[in-house]
Amino acid sequence: MSGVFGPTHRVRVRALYKAILRLHKGMPLELQEIGDKYVKEEFKRHKDAEAPFVVVFMKEWANYAYTLAKQLEVPKSKEPHKFGKEFGVKDLELLTEDQTLQLVELFRETHPGVMKEPVAGDPSDSVDDTAAATPGGDGGPPIHDLPADKTELKDRQTVANPGKPS
């Protein structure tokens, strides 16, 4: 990321990276660990990204930092902090196949026991029946397996939230 833009860019990237890690310290420990790991992997993975992508990468991470900073502000009510934002079908359509796989992997990491990895050569279903769950525990449809592609994931979101526009 730094070779194309020069030394000042390297300073900005490092400052954003450190700011995000500092913001994560305000989150619950389990979210902090997942967030730190993800940020470190993403910044490392995109270290040598091409110039057009770097602009988008930096903008999105700056937006993330801004959103997280706002969410970490002292709430006016006694309700617990809510982190993140809604991820609709339109957002999903913008993802590449690699990003979709990253999202599925993040889901697996944040919902242990809901899905298990299929074992090569094992003809059984990839469902862990003892750990089947519904998203958010709200009685919605159970998550049994990974979606085959974005279309299937989008269809599942529509079924889970029939009246909710995306």
pLDDT digits (tens, 9 = 90+) for 33-68: 999 999 999 999 998 888 888 999 999 999 999 999
Report which of 85, 51, 48 is spatially closest to residue 66, judged by C-alpha positions.
85
Q: Cα(131)–Cα(154) distance, rounded to whole angstroms?
A: 23
Query: Same domain, yes or no, for 60 and 97?
Result: no
Residue 1 in domain: no
Query: Same domain, yes or no, for 53 and 95?
Result: no
pLDDT at 154: 57
pLDDT at 165: 53
Q: Tell me how many domains the chain contains.
A: 2
Residue 166 in domain: no
pLDDT at 6: 79
Query: Same domain, yes or no, for 93 and 152?
Result: yes
Q: Cα(5)–Cα(44) distance, rounded to whole angstroms?
A: 17
pLDDT at 120: 52
Average pLDDT for consecutive 10-residue bins of the chain (166 residues)?
73 95 93 93 91 91 93 73 78 85 81 62 44 40 46 54 52
pLDDT at 139: 41
Residue 112 in domain: yes
Give Dmax (Cα) for the chain: 54
pLDDT at 85: 75
Domain that holds residue 106: 89-119+126-160
Distances (CA, A) of 37 to 34, 51, 78: 5, 24, 30
Residue 131 in domain: yes
pLDDT at 162: 53
Q: Cα(80)–Cα(77) distance, rounded to whole angstroms?
A: 8
Helix axes 97-110, 29-45, angle to 10 degrees: 160
Helix residue ranges per DSSP H, 73-147: 89-93, 97-110
Query: Same domain, yes or no, for 93 and 64?
Result: no
For the whole model, what pTM was predicted? 0.57
